[in-house]
Structure 1
Amino acid sequence: MALSIITNLSTLSTPALCGWLTALLAIWYVVTAIQTWYPLRHVPGPRLASFSYLWMLWNDIRGTNFEKYANFGKYGSLVRNGPRSLVTDDPEVLRKISGARSRYTRDEHYYSASRVEADRENMITILDTARHDAWKAKVASGYSGKENPDLEQAVDAQVMRLVDLIRRKYLSTSGNLRAVDFSLLSRYFTTDVVSRLGHGKAIGHLDEGEDVFGWFGDVKKLIVFLIATDIPWIRRVVMWKPLFRRFGPKPTDKRGIGRVLGYTRNIIAEHFEKDAEPHQDMFGAFIRRGLTKEQLEGEAVLQLVGGSDTTATAMRGVILHLATSPSAYNQLKAEIKEAISQGRASSPITLQEALKLPYLQAVIWEGFRMRTPVTWGHYKVVPPEGDTINGLFIPGGTAIGHNSLALSRRKDIWGDDAAVFRPERWLECSAEKKMEMDRAVEIVFGGGRWMCAGKPIAVMELNKVFFEVRLPSHGLLLLLRVFDFALVNPVMPVKETALAGFVHTDMWMRFTEAKA
């Protein structure tokens, strides 16, 4: 019969053959679309997303992800955002998925796309739960700072270098504007912090305020790559090892991420030298806990890229909302000035001192809520037997991720003004309500075995930089006068694209000497 069909087709003219092929293709698409739609047909969400990845692609290209995901609440708590993927803004569901006894595993959607080199893994790219737990056990102590005796002093040094750079190159005066793109400056700071803690020496972005390796400026390539990872077949092509080896970054590159690979390889080689003294930094801690040279080569770049960019995003979010909220800005100034006058704040401020300033903490966490470093994703796979979530049965193999954009705007958690930056909400509520809000916003760090290993350092960076970079402070030996700031263009303060995280460019700011 098959031979007969082929024979008949061979007698058709070219237009007729094209018509038959088009019809067959259409039938195939309809059948596969129905097969894709059916298993999760009962979960609400955008209609196109239920059977096609075009919904994801369309919003990635148009830059409308923030609006779409932040308003997913209209569908409910559990929403279908792709043919086989769901996102949820329910904190309890997310804690269940990430719990120590959870049988959910990582989905390849996000984690496989976090690979920087074809032949190097890192803690994010490992999908097998047992292997991930073993790897994390080797690096957790280093990320926590327990084996770095001068952790806080190292962060202090970078804060002071940031202050010095602004004073030397970007300090505006009356009639003299010296604007700085804070989207880059924030990354210079966080990358120098992470590199100093990671291997004992800051890369040097804060020396002259320059992209030393030329790896920050090419944002367009980053956007294209993140878009590609949303589409499974594109992701598999992009991450195909032979192709990735040929066109991906290489340690021999002169600029870009490849240059970073080469830089970290040299540092790691020094740490593994036979006669090298024990290093009191993260790399040293990783090595003492059993991380091999090859494993460290993979982890090092994750540490620089992931550890710096997420914290820089949080910094930009807080700065942006403070700059557009004069009442919050002035109240924060008043609190810190009072702390200084009463001797409750040293210079630089310690983490413990910062944690005792209630309005500073409210500003940090409110800014963190408004612009979460990660937006949605970090998908986990439902166990083979399936699971029931919010009364809906979800078949095994479905990917479920967080929707932090919707979670951070839930009115039942944050109030009717959830879309507004208002730090006071953290101070007006009861202790029980504050605990609920704390736990909700901290979900962005993950939970259980998937908790972000670098959370302690990120919290320290935020507390220190938001105290020192804006307001007058002093110490026993040195009087420091730092800065006031304003947006250069309040009408369009920043160019923002929401993908797996926020991509910010052109956040131009004006720094001046702080008024007494």
Structure 2
Amino acid sequence: MLRDLRGISSNYILLIPLTAVLIIYLAFQRYQKGLNKYQGPFLASLTNNWRLVDVWKRDAHTTFRRIHQKYGDIVRVAPNVLSFGHPAAISDIYGLNRGYTKSGYYDVFATLNKGNIIYNLFSTRSEAFHARLRRSVNHAFALSTLLDYEPLVDSCTSYFLRRTQELFVGTGRACLFSEWIQFFAFDVIGEITWSERLGFVQENKDISDIIATVDSFQNYGTVVGQNPWLDSLFVKNPFKRLLESKGLWPASPNTAIVNFALARQYEHAKRAQDDQQQQGTHRRKGVNFLQRFLESQEKSPEFLTDDRITGMCASLIIAGSDSTAISLSAVFYYLLQNPRVYHRLQQEIDAADEAGTLASSSPSSLDSMGGAGDVIAFTAANKLPYLDAVITESFRMHPAVGLLLERVTPPQGATICGEYVPGGTVVGCNAWVIHQNNEVFGPDADVYRPERWLESEGADPAKLSRMRQSMFQFGAGSRTCIGRNISLMETYKMIPTFLRKFEVELAEPEEKMYLKNAFFVHRKNFDVHIRLRNKGGKD
């Protein structure tokens, strides 16, 4: 018996130093850098796993709003992470030449190809690399080149209208609208990247399961990104990557995205070669992203390598379709939830149409597969003030990204919203919090009201300017979404073009829709019925 007691005592003695180490570690986590002065969930001050679990639930945008309402403008969401909820923090954190870098979260979103890590504009943490890569490809995304892509967008839009009518008008079939819009957005990305419509709308399905693959990649990155060392250990460790490069280890799941982009690039190169042989001419000036990337490669082949071009194309697949699809779905959702707004926007579109100011795009945009070619020109759509207010308010209420855009403070520390934050601290803003700020957007910031953006409705110009400066839909600073102009063009053209031709209503008004946050916040269960309008459109 005494021997048994000695064994038990020995076990307890071993637990004492382990417990002491754990207590010291947790105390360090809680009190490091003096960040304990900032309020937040208690567990969040002890471990990153608090936010890992929260992100796992796919509802982090709601959590961020709730904790900022409870704790104020600065909330500690991890031992070394502060979330800032006031719009003034945007310029402090994301302004030019502030000395911040991206956090380790973004490393997780770097793709792999045969064991090689491929960084793109989104995933790289190096400001020097980002600046050089952006300079190399910036001309492909510049506002001055935007209209070059419009015929490609028009072709996809015309065909989308045609397929919408074939599949959902008069068929008694409900349209899963969020998915249908995403199919459209993927086809547009294919068209403007490789001059190849990918077939999502034609087949009404996920081609090559690429949407499911992207979703899986984002689900993984969003959760594991809360503890990036997990990715470094299990996915991107040097030994595993070496084996993968030799074909001795199964390819990482995100390789499928790279392979999809590579296949499109191969098809594009083959078409270009065939065209050159038939026409006996040199390659003509780029009219899609890939061609423009290749033109840039000729100027600096040692930097803009084939892998980096593939990385750019892969990032367009991941981000270019999701953000636009989410924005389009948000506009239609809020229109259906607010009949008064829907009716007023419809009146504006009809009045402009009757006045002859809704110019369609040029004949060159006529769809080769039989589309009507009656897509409203971007310049014409931009002149509709209520449309602009509706889209901007939808961006405000439902930003595409639902997590912090994380940055690391410079070694010397930084002042954010008047607060000194020590160096090496991860900080950031969440658009779902910023866009609900009552001081900037008014006491009814949680209400969908497009009129807040209209001077004709009494909006103060100075307040309007401040509201626009506080919009965080596309990020801010040098890391602003490079595809912003393309996304805006798609959105401003699609909404009035679609509403000129069709009427939309919820298929099951009582059915509960929900949001899924895996970095991008998607709306689910968004089923609608679609019918032709009695007036307008070419029925």
On whether the aligned pair clears a TM of 0.5, the verdict is yes
Whether contact under 8 Å (1:87, 1:376) holds in the other structure is: no
Cα distance in 2 for residues equivalent to 1:384 and 1:222:
30
Q: Does 1:49 align with 2:68?
A: no
Partner of 2:208: 213
Q: Determine helix, strand or coil for the equivalent of 2:411.
A: coil
Q: Determine helix, strand or coil for the equivalent of 1:356.
A: coil
Q: Determine helix, strand or coil for the equivalent of 2:343.
A: helix
Whether contact under 8 Å (1:98, 1:448) holds in the other structure is: yes
Which deviates further from its counterpart, 457-466 or 283-292?
Answer: 283-292
Q: Does 1:503 align with 2:522?
A: yes
Q: Determine helix, strand or coil for the equivalent of 2:503.
A: strand
Match of 1:68 among 53, 56, 63: 63
- TM-score normalised per structure 2: 0.84
Cα distance in 1 for residues equivalent to 2:532 and 2:465:
37
Cα distance in 2 for residues equivalent to 1:504 and 1:385:
41
Measured at CA, do residues 284 and 220 of structure 1 come closer, stay the same or move farther in structure 2, by a change above 3 Å? closer
Overall identity of the aligned pairs, in %? 24
Cα distance in 1 for residues equivalent to 2:27 and 2:37:
13
Q: Does 1:299 align with 2:299?
A: no
1:175-214 aligned within 5 A:
177-214=172-209
Match of 1:437 among 444, 448, 467: 467
The alpha carbon displacement at 1:419 in A equals 1.0
Gapped regions of structure 1 (runs ≥ 5): 1-10, 472-481
- CA-to-aligned-CA distance 1:259-294 (integer Å, 9 cap, x gap): 524423424655997976143211121222232212
Measured at CA, do residues 12 and 456 of structure 1 come closer, stay the same or move farther in structure 2, by a change above 3 Å? farther
Measured at CA, do residues 21 and 199 of structure 1 come closer, stay the same or move farther in structure 2, by a change above 3 Å? farther
The alpha carbon displacement at 1:515 in A equals 3.1
The alpha carbon displacement at 1:382 in A equals 0.5
Measured at CA, do residues 269 and 250 of structure 1 come closer, stay the same or move farther in structure 2, by a change above 3 Å? farther
Cα distance in 2 for residues equivalent to 1:98 and 1:225:
22
Q: Does 1:329 align with 2:322?
A: no
- TM-score normalised per structure 1: 0.88
Gapped regions of structure 2 (runs ≥ 5): 277-281, 298-303, 361-374
Match of 2:412 among 351, 362, 385: 385
- CA-to-aligned-CA distance 1:360-417 (integer Å, 9 cap, x gap): 0111011111110112222111011112223332111001111111111111111111
Match of 1:403 among 427, 430, 433: 430
Q: Determine helix, strand or coil for the equivalent of 1:492.
A: coil
Cα distance in 2 for residues equivalent to 1:198 and 1:145:
16
Cα distance in 1 for residues equivalent to 2:72 and 2:39:
7
Partner of 1:367: 394
Match of 1:164 among 162, 165, 173: 162
Q: Determine helix, strand or coil for the equivalent of 1:372.
A: coil
The alpha carbon displacement at 1:236 in A equals 3.0
Whether contact under 8 Å (2:96, 2:477) holds in the other structure is: yes
Cα distance in 2 for residues equivalent to 1:288 and 1:14:
74
1:65-214 aligned within 5 A:
65-71=60-66, 72-109=68-105, 111-117=106-112, 118-119=115-116, 120-144=118-142, 146-147=144-145, 150-171=148-169, 173=170, 177-214=172-209
The alpha carbon displacement at 1:20 in A equals 4.1
The alpha carbon displacement at 1:223 in A equals 2.8
Q: Determine helix, strand or coil for the equivalent of 1:515.
A: coil
The alpha carbon displacement at 1:146 in A equals 4.1
Which deviates further from its counterpart, 260-269 or 208-217?
Answer: 260-269
Measured at CA, do residues 313 and 157 of structure 1 come closer, stay the same or move farther in structure 2, by a change above 3 Å? same
Cα distance in 2 for residues equivalent to 1:195 and 1:12:
72
RMSD after superposition: 2.6
Cα distance in 2 for residues equivalent to 1:433 and 1:153:
37
Partner of 2:364: none
Which deviates further from its counterpart, 204-213 or 236-245?
Answer: 236-245
Which deviates further from its counterpart, 330-339 or 287-296?
Answer: 287-296
Q: Does 1:492 align with 2:490?
A: no
